[in-house]
Amino acid sequence: MIIVNRKDKENEREKVVTVALHTLGCKVNACESEKIEASLKEAGFLIVPFSSSADVYIVNTCSVTNIADRKSRQLLHRAKKLNPDALIIAAGCYVNTRGREEVTADPLVDLAFSNEEKTGICAFLKERFSNRLSSEGAADTSLFSLEHTRVFLKVQDGCDMFCSYCVIPYARGRIKSIPEAELIREVTSLASHGYREFILTGIHLSSYGKDLPEGKTDLMTLIRSLSGISGVRRLRLGSLEPGIITEDFARFLSEIPALCPHFHLSLQSGSDSVLKRMNRKYDTKRYAESVKLLRQYFDDPAITTDVIVGFPGESDTEFEETVSFLKRIGFYETHVFQYSRRAGTAADRMPGQLSSGVKAEREKVLLRMTEERRKAYADSRIGKDAEVLFEENNEGYTKEYIRVRCMNPDAVNGSILYGTITGRENNRLMSFEPRQL
């Protein structure tokens, strides 16, 4: 047995290069951070919590709202306070929207990598710290761990939709889909390492394949291929454009046993005039048809959405239209956002910009509604069968994305159990009784 004393451990730690990484924003950003982290571990860097002292801090930023911009800046500044000698790196959307010069004009930020460049962070750091990196890599070089059961899988980047309020097409560029063969390889590897659920994610998931050679692939083809991979027990879809839900698409999805009946259809507004000003490509009639189709082919699926309140010129009547549309659809969850002006977008130049007071008031109304609906949907499952993928502390998610705790303490994390939802534990947690263990 090798005994390592405390002093040795401290010396050991001094040699390794520590990197702390913080991610803001969307699931695509989270996927990209995971990849950066994996490549850093493989190269021999030690990943440490963002709250500790590190040699390098990377903030994978977001720029979707003014608040996101501010948070990105605050995190970069906090990093410098934690270790004034550290190398501070800003990466991602904030760099794309503000430009490298502006970001690095901040004396506390050393380097900036755009979305296109951030895969190069590891190579850059390897070069920079070559004298301190061991050729054997860090102790923990594994990308995959059996403690993890669910993984976000980035299948595309970019967006061509140009909604009038959104900077993403400028920050992320046009659609770029990851070839199907590459995704099949990635999922096969992840499944063989114990991952069970794959959440297909993209900036505009519904556009998957549109940039690839015609007839080659689309979202349906990709779902079919991935669902056939051994070990893939669940496929969950990220945000979908309502227009993708045709009868053929809904029927196709319902025939894939691994497909989770949880659909996030972006709404943004329940008022047709606001949708038009937002340059969304559907109206409420088309949206309601999509929901009807999903409910026709799935038994009480979980339908979730996003709504923006306080869009320029949103009148009381238009807001009321949104309130009644949300009630009519009966969502499981609604993510509510206050409209945020983004320089360079069409909405920023629109008349009728609303005060923050009005936006906050409208947000409050919708948040109250969504809280009630969320509970009502989860309560409606009490007494019903459920399949649960357990993650940690005997807690896990059903296919509808209801969080449950297993009453039997022997539930195995990483396993899938069948049973019944027996009641409510608290606001966010339901109780679950497995049929057999």
* Candidate residues 155, 163, 191, 260; the one interacting with ligand SF4 per rule CB under 6 A: 163
Neighbours of 80 (CB within 10 A): 18
Q: Considering only 32-40, 137-145, 154-162, 173-181, which stretch makes contact with ligand SF4 by CB under 6 A? A: 154-162
Indicate the residue among 23 and 206 with the shorter CB distance to ligand SF4: 206
Indicate the residue among 166 and 265 with the shorter CB distance to ligand SF4: 166
* Candidate residues 116, 162, 315, 368; the one interacting with ligand SF4 per rule CB under 6 A: 162
Q: Please report how close the Cβ of residue 282 comes to ligand SF4 at its closest, in angstroms.
A: 11
Number of residues this chain uses to bind ligand SF4 (CB under 6 A): 9
Q: Considering only 160-168, 191-199, 405-413, 416-424, which stretch makes contact with ligand SF4 by CB under 6 A? A: 160-168
Does residue 62 interact with ligand SF4 by CB under 6 A? no
Does residue 406 interact with ligand SF4 by CB under 6 A? no
Indicate the residue among 30 and 161 with the shorter CB distance to ligand SF4: 161
| CB proximity list for 271: less than 8 A, separation 6 or greater | 284, 314, 317, 318, 319, 321, 322, 325
Indicate the residue among 196 and 280 with the shorter CB distance to ligand SF4: 280
Indicate the residue among 168 and 354 with the shorter CB distance to ligand SF4: 168
Does residue 386 interact with ligand SF4 by CB under 6 A? no
| Lookup: tokens for 182 | 């590459």
Q: Please report how close the Cβ of residue 237 comes to ligand SF4 at its closest, in angstroms.
A: 15
Q: Considering only 124-132, 155-163, 338-346, 395-403, which stretch makes contact with ligand SF4 by CB under 6 A? A: 155-163
Q: Please report how close the Cβ of residue 249 comes to ligand SF4 at its closest, in angstroms.
A: 18
| Lookup: tokens for 298 | 């799935």
Do 200 and 155 touch, CB atoms closer than 8 A? yes
Indicate the residue among 50 and 170 with the shorter CB distance to ligand SF4: 170
Residue reference for tokens 């979980």: 302
Do 310 and 358 touch, CB atoms closer than 8 A? yes
Nearest Cα residue to 234 out of 399, 411, 400, 402: 399
* Candidate residues 166, 183, 253, 274; the one interacting with ligand SF4 per rule CB under 6 A: 166
Burial readout 14-31 (b: 16 or more C-beta within 10 A, e: otherwise): eebbbbbbbbbbbbbbeb
Nearest Cα residue to 57 out of 131, 111, 106: 111
CA distance 266 to 66: 21
Does residue 359 interact with ligand SF4 by CB under 6 A? no
Nearest Cα residue to 92 out of 5, 26, 175, 188: 26
Q: On the CB side of 242, how many CA atoms lie within 13 Å of its CA?
A: 24
Q: On the CB side of 432, how many CA atoms lie within 13 Å of its CA?
A: 31
Q: Please report how close the Cβ of residue 275 comes to ligand SF4 at its closest, in angstroms.
A: 12
Segment holding 60, helix H or strand E: strand 56-61
- Burial of 156 per CB tally in 10 Å (0-12, 13-18, 19+): buried
Q: Considering only 11-19, 159-167, 317-325, 329-337, which stretch makes contact with ligand SF4 by CB under 6 A? A: 159-167
CA distance 33 to 93: 13
Do 277 and 243 touch, CB atoms closer than 8 A? no
Indicate the residue among 148 and 154 with the shorter CB distance to ligand SF4: 154
DSSP states of 400-429 as a string? T--EEEESSTTPPTT-EEEEEEEEEEETTE
3-class DSSP assignment, residue 392: strand
Residues 188-247 that bind ligand SF4 (CB under 6 A): 203-204
Q: Please report how close the Cβ of residue 291 comes to ligand SF4 at its closest, in angstroms.
A: 18
Does residue 358 interact with ligand SF4 by CB under 6 A? no
Does residue 346 interact with ligand SF4 by CB under 6 A? no
* Candidate residues 40, 79, 168, 200; the one interacting with ligand SF4 per rule CB under 6 A: 168
Q: Please report how close the Cβ of residue 3 comes to ligand SF4 at its closest, in angstroms.
A: 55
Segment holding 199, helix H or strand E: strand 197-202
Q: Please report how close the Cβ of residue 414 comes to ligand SF4 at its closest, in angstroms.
A: 33
Q: Please report how close the Cβ of residue 14 comes to ligand SF4 at its closest, in angstroms.
A: 44
Does residue 171 interact with ligand SF4 by CB under 6 A? no
Residue 200 sits at φ, ψ, to 5 deg, of -75, 125
Indicate the residue among 20 and 175 with the shorter CB distance to ligand SF4: 175
Give residues in contact with ligand SF4 (CB under 6 A).
159, 161-163, 166, 168-169, 203-204
